[in-house]
Amino acid sequence: MMDILMYLFETYIHSDVELMVDQDELADELSRAGFHQDDIYKALNWLEKLALLQDADKTPYLTGGALTSVRIYTPKEMDRLDTESRGFLTFLEQISVLSPETREMVIDRVMELDTQEFVLEDLKWVILMVLFNVPGNEGAYDQMEELLYSTAEDEYLH
């Protein structure tokens, strides 16, 4: 599923190619690209739910919480997000790439992924997709894009 999401993001959204509105046409194109039908519909459903996260009435957990609160992860979240991934989320909050609201959107989308293996690189892509989808996060998106595309050398210079 992550492969499809990354393919869609790079092919349509990131490259400024107009995204086809018709889901059936998009599903056919993804099928021609070699993706399995079940995975295609799961990915499209995942993206649809991502778009719905902007509606605070449907996701009231995004409207509460003080800025000084600390995020405690559930056991299921800790199974999906390893220590490195949780630390990366905290880091992004500290440098104001993620707000508590966008962090929760990211965690929501991560937990909905239908995948056995989930690594930090996958998390970075999910964060980028969430930031792209939420209006007013252009600066955060640019910072995250820079972090995503930075080389391994850059990451280990610290």
The 10 Å Cβ neighbour count of residue 74 is 10
Q: Which pair of structure tokens corresponds to residue 30?
A: 């993804």
Give the amino acid at 116. Answer: Q
Q: What is the pLDDT of residue 156?
A: 47
Interval 56-95: pLDDT, tens? 555 555 555 566 678 899 999 999 999 999 999 999 999 9
pTM recorded for the entire structure: 0.79
For 20, which DSSP code? P
Quick one: angle between helices 100-111 and 120-133, nearest 10? 120
